[in-house]
Structure 1
Amino acid sequence: MQKNDPGVGPSKPRLFGILGPGLITGASDDDPSGIATYSQAGAQFGFGLTWTLLFSYPLMSVVQEISARIGRTTGQGIAGNMRRYYPNWLLQSVVVLLLIANTINIGADLGAMGDALKLIIGGPHLAYVILFGVVSVVLQVLLEYSRYVSVLKWLTLSLFAYFGTVLVVHVPWGDVARGLFIPKLTANAGFWTSVVAILGTTISPYLFFWQASQEVEDQKAKPERKPLKEAPEQAENAIERIRLDTYVGMAFSNLVALAIMITAGATLHASGITDIESTSQAAAALKPVAGAFAFAIFALGVIGTGLLAIPVLAGSAGYALGEARKWPTGLDRKPLEAKAFYVTIAVATLLGACLNFTPVNPIKALYWSAVVNGVVAVPVMAVMMMMTARRDIMGKATVPLVMRTVGWAATAVMAVAALVMIAQFFWE
């Protein structure tokens, strides 16, 4: 990086200082709902699905880098660009479906966090759901943007809990290596359901909206930075920083997912426990198999990841709706300067919390959320790929053909995954 480059900041900053939107996005991908998915995959198939994380890594990394580049280049989030350049019906459909999926996900995550705290200290599960919901909203509304981002970055450290669980259980590393590098495909319906679930968990539309909008926030927070469309001289170093941030963040995300699958495979699957439906069930099942320490680490990790993921889910909903409606948006704004944006965040979190007071089965709700996410992801990814090739949107900072090709491949994979999920729903 060049010294005193206005697009980057001080020369040779520490890695943790460079990392931001990409790291937070990657870490928030391992939310409690994702942890349940990875735990189930490990419990049911041992190490047999770990290869999916190697497969998904380049796809999710490229898609997230494209999301970040759209925000950094145009100075607007994905919804803002869709409003300006694409049909209104497409924008409104995507935003509505995103709000539904995010709200369901928030509800499931809050429920998992409440269950985890109840497992550790006892007490009323629903009271903890409300507590975590309130804390998440307060963090976003009352903290200054720079402090809020710092809180989120430090919360990513909670994911190291899952590396800790790997260290305290017996792992047959030879079997792990075979599962990771030598895929064994079967015609088993449950096998492919788990593959689709993992892909749907790692590549989610709320992550696209969040990272693009966070790049816009970061750019506005530093007056020397300009949208790359207006300041192409900043492009080289800005894109280098985005790529490092994104690829490290996505690698961290998938390594955590791998640790969870290895832990579940080495303990639950090895002990004959193959049906895990929630994070609390996974944590409780670990206790007699791997000991109280592994149980406590796993449960605390659920709480930490939830505190990280819920603001991202609610925030991405606020960005998408706000940009679509031309509202003032941004966590750098005071609540009175962006009332509708913050109300959206609060309402999404409140509605998610309320789902825990209904007879709705959280596992079924998560399945619906995955289906909706799959449906939303495909058109959003397709629009993103088209955006990045248009000079009227990206200026001179259009995305290279190789990257767009990988992005289109990821879009095709997600389209197949979405069709499989929808077919399974009607088949059942």
Structure 2
Amino acid sequence: MVSIADRLRERAGLLGPAFVAAIAYVDPGNVATNTQAGAKYGYLLVWVVAAANAMAGLVQYLSAKVGLVTGRSLPELLRERLPRGTRVLYWAQAELVAVATDLAEVLGGAIALSILFGLPLLLGGIITGAVSTALLAVQNRAGQSRFERVITGLLLVIAVGFVAGLFVAPPEPAKVLEGLVPRFDGVDSLVLAAGMLGATVMPHVVYLHSALARDRFGADKGKLGVTKADVGLAMVLAGTVNLAMVLLAATALGGHTDASSLDGVHTAVGDALGAGVALLFAVGLLASGLASTSVGCYAGAVVMEGLLRKRVPLLARRVATLLPAIVVLALGADPTKALVASQVVLSFGIPFALVPLVVLTAKRTVMGDAVNRPGTTAVAGLIAGVVIALNVALAILTT
């Protein structure tokens, strides 16, 4: 007779793909935008984190569902339906998103290495790129399951790094609840909210998760139940970390004039909460940069192979997406400002991933009896509409 403990271990062994995708929701771009939101606006934008995480949960489940039901990734399904010229243009925008993603993640790793070891940012960026390449080699040589375990371990390190400060400076529950009421405070808060959304509902993992689920389980609708649990647990963890970033900044960084940069945030955390919490913050930031840049590069490879049927060697792919970040560091640009700008770029790439996902999962000819229920399609369509409307408003208000 199989014990409950054995069943739990068996089910736990099926978890993993969503935790790899969840790394994208706690990358250095999230750290930059969330800490700026908390430091500048206090609890005002807590609702953005909550809403974005709820959106991301549904989106990631639909992406995994596509892979499990059809046995193909979202980019592969798009390739089958787009004419060649459109397909190339579509790949070009997805590649731009991948570059913006890598920019944020490499910069975050470089800043963390500078904080921890005093390394020059340029050297830190090169080291971040090298280590992320080694992490990708785990996936290439040891298989997806080993890669999932490594990334999940890093996700737990990230969680500890950013949640620890809340035990030293707990937020005020009444203000947290007040922050759940949707509102803005001028154009700057809208720009920051768009960056937070771009850092949370990230387009590259919308493409990637379909491949992760497919590669782990094949075309197996029977795994939809465990996939729901996988996505739910992963997004609860990622959402908790994102919320912790905002609340930590709101409680400990308000009034700090130097909290607009990640190294300034680290200094302010140390001043307010002590060296131990600041060290955990820096370690969490480093783990975030290393893990997320490897996942981002993996996603770029999935998109290129799916849309163009082209495989690029790992090292060549890594160098191509790493170069823009290295150039930014070499030119001496403000890394935190570049981080936040990259998240706004990401937010403009979201509709190109979301709209096809909603349309395809609503088609019975694609999904069979696993087609979305009308209510699911309506909610997913609303999510896409909100994202597009926010981006249009952002473009109007900032020009």
TM-score (norm 1): 0.85
1:241 aligns with 2:214: no
| Structure 1 residue 64, shift from structure 2 partner | 1.0
Q: Are the structure 2 counterparts of residues 366 and 117 from structure 1 closer, same or farther at C-alpha, using a change threshold of 3 Å?
A: closer
For 2:86 and 2:349, locate their aligned partners in 1 and report how far apart those are by CA, in whole Å: 10
1:244 counterpart letter in structure 2: A
Instruction: Work out which of the residue numbers 41, 44, 47 in structure 1 matches 2:40.
Output: 44
Q: Residue 137 of structure 1 aligns with which residue?
A: 133
Question: Contact 2:253–2:269 (CA<8 Å) still a contact in 1?
Answer: yes
Q: Residue 311 of structure 1 aligns with which residue?
A: 294
2:244 counterpart letter in structure 1: A
Question: Contact 2:121–2:329 (CA<8 Å) still a contact in 1?
Answer: no
Q: Residue 194 of structure 1 aligns with which residue?
A: 192
1:73 aligns with 2:92: no
Q: Are the structure 2 counterparts of residues 91 and 422 from structure 1 closer, same or farther at C-alpha, using a change threshold of 3 Å?
A: farther
1:24 counterpart letter in structure 2: V
Greater Cα offset, 285-294 or 87-96: 87-96
Structure 2: state its 5+ residue gaps.
Answer: none
Question: Contact 1:385–1:407 (CA<8 Å) still a contact in 2?
Answer: yes
RMSD: 2.3
| Structure 1 residue 363, shift from structure 2 partner | 4.6
For 1:186 and 1:212, locate their aligned partners in 2 and report how far apart those are by CA, in whole Å: 34
Question: Contact 2:17–2:209 (CA<8 Å) still a contact in 1?
Answer: yes
Q: Residue 342 of structure 2 aligns with which residue?
A: 369
2:345 counterpart letter in structure 1: V
| Structure 1 residue 352, shift from structure 2 partner | 3.1
1:117 counterpart letter in structure 2: L
1:294 aligns with 2:293: no
Provide, for residues 153-212 of structure 1, a one-character-per-residue CA deviation record: whole Å limited to 9, x for no partner. 1111112221111112253333223323xx162452222222222222211101101211
Q: Residue 222 of structure 1 aligns with which residue?
A: none
Provide, for residues 138-157 of structure 1, a one-character-per-residue CA deviation record: whole Å limited to 9, x for no partner. 22125412322211111111
Q: Are the structure 2 counterparts of residues 371 and 163 from structure 1 closer, same or farther at C-alpha, using a change threshold of 3 Å?
A: closer
Question: Contact 2:351–2:388 (CA<8 Å) still a contact in 1?
Answer: yes
SS of the aligned residue for 2:260 comes to: coil
For 1:128 and 1:187, locate their aligned partners in 2 and report how far apart those are by CA, in whole Å: 36
For 2:324 and 2:191, locate their aligned partners in 1 and report how far apart those are by CA, in whole Å: 28
Question: Contact 1:29–1:202 (CA<8 Å) still a contact in 2?
Answer: yes
1:92 counterpart letter in structure 2: V
Instruction: Work out which of the residue numbers 228, 244, 252 in structure 1 matches 2:237.
Output: 252
Q: Any runs of at least 4 consecutive aligned residues in structure 1 with deviations exceeding 6 A, and if so which?
A: none
Question: Contact 2:364–2:371 (CA<8 Å) still a contact in 1?
Answer: yes
Q: Residue 268 of structure 2 aligns with which residue?
A: 285
1:106 aligns with 2:84: no
| Structure 1 residue 98, shift from structure 2 partner | 2.2
Q: Residue 94 of structure 1 aligns with which residue?
A: 90
Greater Cα offset, 409-418 or 159-168: 159-168
| Structure 1 residue 357, shift from structure 2 partner | 1.5
Instruction: Work out which of the residue numbers 365, 380, 388 in structure 2 matches 1:415.
Output: 388
Question: Contact 2:18–2:231 (CA<8 Å) still a contact in 1?
Answer: yes
| Structure 1 residue 274, shift from structure 2 partner | 5.8
Q: Are the structure 2 counterparts of residues 16 and 128 from structure 1 closer, same or farther at C-alpha, using a change threshold of 3 Å?
A: farther
Instruction: Give identity over the alignment, percent.
Output: 21
Q: Residue 320 of structure 2 aligns with which residue?
A: 347
Q: Are the structure 2 counterparts of residues 399 and 90 from structure 1 closer, same or farther at C-alpha, using a change threshold of 3 Å?
A: farther
Provide, for residues 295-340 of structure 1, a one-character-per-residue CA deviation record: whole Å limited to 9, x for no partner. 1111111001111111111111111011112135xxxxxxxxxx54
- Aligned pairs, how many? 391
TM-score (norm 2): 0.90
SS of the aligned residue for 2:179 comes to: helix
Q: Residue 386 of structure 1 aligns with which residue?
A: 359
For 1:370 and 1:120, locate their aligned partners in 2 and report how far apart those are by CA, in whole Å: 24
Instruction: Work out which of the residue numbers 219, 223, 226 in structure 2 matches 1:227.
Output: 219
Question: Contact 2:97–2:349 (CA<8 Å) still a contact in 1?
Answer: no
**Structure ranking higher in helix proportion:** 2
1:116 counterpart letter in structure 2: A
Question: Contact 2:100–2:343 (CA<8 Å) still a contact in 1?
Answer: no
| Structure 1 residue 114, shift from structure 2 partner | 1.9
Q: Are the structure 2 counterparts of residues 384 and 392 from structure 1 closer, same or farther at C-alpha, using a change threshold of 3 Å?
A: same
Q: Are the structure 2 counterparts of residues 48 and 364 from structure 1 closer, same or farther at C-alpha, using a change threshold of 3 Å?
A: closer
